[in-house]
Chains A and B, each alone.
Chain A
Amino acid sequence: MRETLSLLFYLVRLRVRTRLEFRASLVIAWTAQGFGYAGVFTSIWIILTRFENIGGWSWPQMALFLGFHTLGYALGACFTLVQLRGMEEIVRGGEFDMLLVRPINPWAYLVFSGFNIEYGGHILLGLGLIVWALPQVGIVWSLPSALMLFGGLISSAFITASCITVVSACALVLQRARYLFGLYFDFWELSRYPASIFAPVFQLALLTVIPLGYMAYVPVSVLLGRPVPYLGAFAPFASLAAGPLAVLAAAAFWRFCLRRYQGGGG
């Protein structure tokens, strides 16, 4: 166990060193991400200043929501996103075959050897929004609400990592995953808005089959004392349980696909 951990840590170190060899591209990535987020958040802010609120959410509440969403996503994605998003190429190019001849879990190898320091920008942005918004939304702090904040963030990160893992696992069987990643990101963008503004069927979907509602909507609603459709009093538990459950489901799905792996051809 200790040896495995030190090995995984070594992989992260190699990865960071590789990225630092190309410092310029790292800075460009950070800047591009910064502009991307600035655009989206400004448009949400403009809607808010026009209409005072979105589905009953004020701007500071919305800022907490967005900060939570960004931070939860970044924590999950820095381990899984870049490396698993290229899964289609990893499988087709035969790189996955090369992982299978090494004495290590291929998922762990991919995740740690691709550790994504580009996400530093996301994490700072998410933290900043949360720190700015928290004092303005009047949360009464207690042990349960603190647990909700941290537990909810971890759950959110787990959901992100699980979704990305599930989508990438499809490449093991279908040799394809790009389109599915596109689909995931479409839903992910929608989950940046309070679910209550969508049609009821879609709200239900976000709380069940596409569990992105638990990324921010459910935990932040609970923190703010807002009602959550369908879940009601069960919302805090559902929010904390969603991440670990997603991880279990994703792990089972990954194993299921790995057993059906037929090579990358050639």
Chain B
Amino acid sequence: MAAIISAEGVGKVFQQRVSQPGILGAIRSFVAPVTRPVHAVADITFSIAAGEAVGYLGPNGAGKSTMIKMLTGILTPSVGEVTVLGRKPQQERVANARDIGVVFGQRTQLWWDLPLSDSFELHRRLYRVPDALFSKNRAALSDMMELTSFIERPVRHLSLGQRMRAEIAMALMHDPKILFLDEPTIGLDVVAKDVVRKFLSRINRERGTTIILTTHDLQDIEEICPRLIMVDEGRLLFDGTLPALRKSFGARRRLTLEFSGDPGEVRLVGARPSGGEGLLREFLLEDDGRSLVQLLAALEASSDVRDVRLHEPSIEEVIRTHYQSKGSAPAPVTGRPAVPA
């Protein structure tokens, strides 16, 4: 399939003001402000085909939001070129806006003091959604996201989880071809996160909506996005699948077993012992596709297992392990060939 989103050698430099101490400093920085260039995004190239769901992953300040802003027409790249559905997003901002849906986890597009239904109606007019399509989408999305019980309540009275569900539903009312989400699960509790993740992967499957979401939660990627792009300090570190990431970055999932009595020497095929004492034992799991059940079935120990905990490495751990193993400056790793443009 042809690429509908592409970035070629994209970079974004912000001029950040350096504040100077003291009153004299304040006056000086008013007259002749000292600025420092911040390379928020540096030389990033990727392309995404219609129907894909891609996670854009990275720690704080990695340049995720900046990339989303360039793709949605808010900012222009300082160097390089982004193309969305064949357009330059900022030059054809309005046309681009009609074809995409955007959700920023830390902002809202809902009208704070009025009921949700008014925001939906405004959205219908803004995007000129035909009546029939709008009623169909509104019914279907309200049903899927369970909005019906609070659709007539002022938005300021909704919980964060309810609001996020509404936010995402609204972004889909005009049948966008691409849905951009910047940290859609931030601040949500486990249940709400789960609802959002299931919903997004269903939308991607059933409607074929291309999804790009930024996150620093690997779990989001695991459940929604077969493909992930990882960035750090503006640079591309990895583009491929999650298992490929685990393999090449060496960050292992950690399994903790708790025994009811002294287990003696414990052997677990496909896992490397990594510590633990007393009733606890820790293992690092190989990424060989073996399931937890299979692993535990092959457990050899002289006592029963009372509890099992599986710890996913966080994005920070993944990146740390990567740097430790490389020992130097990051270079992009490609887990699979890039999609042809």
Contacts and interface: CB of A to CB of B under 8 A. Distances in A.
A3 to B, nearest CB: 6
Given A14-B114, A103-B98, A98 B69 contact: no
A3 B127 CA distance: 10
A3 B97 contact: no
Contacts of B121: 10
Interface residues of A, number: 23
Contacts of A102: 97, 109, 126
A263 B65 CA distance: 11
Interface residue SS majority, chain B: mixed
B14 A94 contact: no
B94 A263 contact: no
A103 B65 CA distance: 20
A7 B114 contact: no
B107 A94 contact: yes
Contacts of A21: 113-114
A10 B122 contact: yes
A209 interface: no
B14 A7 contact: no
A11 interface: yes
Given A94-B107, A262-B14, A101 B74 contact: yes
B135 interface: no
Contacts, number: 66
Interface string A1-45: 001001100110010011001100000000000000000000000
Contacts of B222: none
Interface in A94-111: 94-95, 97-98, 100-104
Given A103-B94, A262-B14, A10 B73 contact: no
A266 interface: yes
A5 to B, nearest CB: 11
Nearest to A11: B122
Interface of B: 14-15, 65-66, 69, 72-75, 93-95, 97-98, 100, 102, 104, 106-109, 111, 113-114, 118, 121-122, 125-128
Interface of A: 3, 6-7, 10-11, 14, 17-18, 21-22, 94-95, 97-98, 100-104, 261-263, 266
